[in-house]
Chains A and B, each alone.
Chain A
Amino acid sequence: MMFRGDLFIWALVELFWISVNVLMIEVVYSHTSTVAGWSKYEMLLLAGTSMLIQRFLMGFFWSGIFEMGRNVRSGAFDFFLAQPGDPLFMASTRKLEMDGLLNSFVAAGLVVYSVRKLGLHPGPSDLALYACMVACGVVIHYSALVMSMSLSFWITSSQGVEGSYFTLMEFSRIPREAFSKGLASALFVWALPVVVVSNAPARVLLHGFEPSWALGLCAATLAWFALAVAVFRSGLRRYTSASS
């Protein structure tokens, strides 16, 4: 709370981005009644879930991972290597961003609003499963971001590459049904789990437990986390300290 003005600005930024996404859905649905078979409130539920996952990522990990690239370039990453713990864990969990966490309530509010508008009554098991799937989504986002930033070990600057994370995560706002069978489906639904990440939890609230979605998400979470750790460790072996 030392930088209250900064917290206020960033909370406003996050809130505005959420509003922009909601505005886009409003504009689109003012011209059509369904998108890939999803109604406006189903789409808001999907967008709310996607934003909830992103806000948790922003709140818990974003600053730490974002600074990782800068620290690798400047040599300040030595600090994390000297810590008594896993360097990836120490570097990525160093800071909490309150603005992201505050706006997770706004995203959660959007999910609750959509659920009420859709007349859904999810049971405790559905809510627990939804929470688990959101957690899996956060792990997948975390892994994707760690992999993007780990490129700093190989290239001069990962600026621009980190933007690729946001570009890829745009797909999490699209319903699975929008992907016809083909290359796009193979890539964005199966190879990169950007669609599954948000669709799987949203579908739990809409349709209840679906084993194929739950298992698919769990498998993707484990695979992506393992891959991120492997890429990070491989990059770490290239790291040359900048200390005097």
Chain B
Amino acid sequence: MLKYRHAFVVGLQSNLVYRWNFAARSLFSIFHLVFVFIFWGAIYAGNASIGGFGFAQTLTYFVVLFVLQFFIGAFNEDYQISEDIRNGLINQFLLKPINYFAYRLSVFAAARVVSGALGLMALLVALPFLRGYLVLPHDGWRIALGIPAMALTGLIQFSIAYCFGMLAFWFLEIQGFVILSMAVETVLGGQFFPLDLLPPAAFRAVSYLPFYYQAYFPNAILTGRIGLDAAARGLAIQAFWAAVLVCVAEVVWRRGLRRHTAAGG
């Protein structure tokens, strides 16, 4: 564990080098909250409730989503991993007693600590304007289930990014795959609109996909969009998907290594 703790600390330091980029990104993300406020405000004008939820509840959903993305969202891990493979940097991990997945997960966790802190700072800037619109339920079980759900969401997001990064073993250019996957994850993860606004059959079908657990699920627990039964059942499905994706990541790594040619002195 010590080596991964060191990887985490080094990851923290290297991410702090890019603190201004994260800061710029988080500050510009406030514009997204302004967009949400104006766009959804216009949708709710004349409608007290949409899909069973009021404007304040929907705004709270997007604000929590904003925070979650900075704390547990995969930003460019897929690109970093693909660069390791393309540039041959991965060779050093083959010669050392270190698990590449665990190493990358440690660096991912470090990056999220930095981006999460800066995301919170951006939220603090926006909070005086949003405070009157935020409504969070006070049930204790939501925190108790929300925390493991967030941890599993982070693992799912990372594992998917890891698998896409591994595609560099097979393809020279993976950005197309990454952006395509991002588009799917954005819509089926509930980042464009809360998934409960979909027709009931579509919502039910989506709840069995891993994307549902990438953003919507922990958010829905924390913001009161789903009840205790749905949260407990969802947590079991989420754990299943997290386990599946970690296994897929391992399989892809092993298969990729078979194709890998370590060149250079």
> Which residues from chain A sit less than 8 Å from chain B, CB to CB?
3, 6, 9-10, 12-13, 16-17, 20, 23-24, 27-28, 30-32, 34-36, 155-161, 163-164, 167-168, 170-171, 173-175, 177-179, 184, 188
Contacts and interface: CB of A to CB of B under 8 A. Distances in A.
A123 to B, nearest CB: 31
A107 to B, nearest CB: 16
Contact of A13 (B38, B41, B51, B183): B183
Contacts of B197: 27-28, 30-31
A160 B4 CA distance: 27
Nearest to B181: A13
A178 B46 CA distance: 13
Contacts of A156: 17-18, 20-21
Contacts of B199: 30
Given A13-B183, A167-B29, 8 more contacts: A10-B176, A31-B50, A36-B42, A155-B21, A156-B18, A156-B21, A157-B21, A168-B31
30 contacts: A6-B176, A10-B176, A12-B180, A13-B179, A20-B183, A23-B192, A24-B193, A27-B197, A28-B193, A30-B199, A31-B51, A35-B39, A35-B42, A36-B42, A36-B45, A155-B20, A156-B21, A157-B21, A158-B21, A160-B18, A160-B28, A161-B24, A161-B25, A164-B25, A168-B31, A170-B32, A175-B42, A179-B38, A188-B34, A188-B38
A185 to B, nearest CB: 9
Interface string B190-205: 0011000111000000
Q: How large is the interface on B (under 10, 10 to 19, 20 to 34, 35 or more residues)?
A: 35 or more
Contacts of B20: 155-156
Interface of B: 17-18, 20-22, 24-25, 28-29, 31-32, 34-35, 38-39, 41-43, 45-47, 50-51, 76, 173, 176-177, 179-180, 183-184, 186-187, 192-193, 197-199
| Interface secondary structure of B, over-half rule | helix
Given A164-B28, A167-B32, A31 B47 contact: yes
Contacts of A184: 34, 38
The 10 tightest CB contacts between A and B, nearest first, are: A9-B176, A160-B25, A178-B42, A164-B28, A160-B21, A36-B42, A31-B50, A16-B183, A170-B35, A13-B180
A162 B58 CA distance: 28
A24 B192 CA distance: 7
Contact of B31 (A12, A32, A167): A167
Contacts of A161: 21, 24-25, 28
A159 B173 CA distance: 19
A27 B193 CA distance: 8
Contacts of A13: 176, 179-180, 183
Contact of A178 (B24, B39, B176): B39
A157 B197 CA distance: 38
Contacts of A23: 187, 192
Contacts of A167: 28-29, 31-32, 35
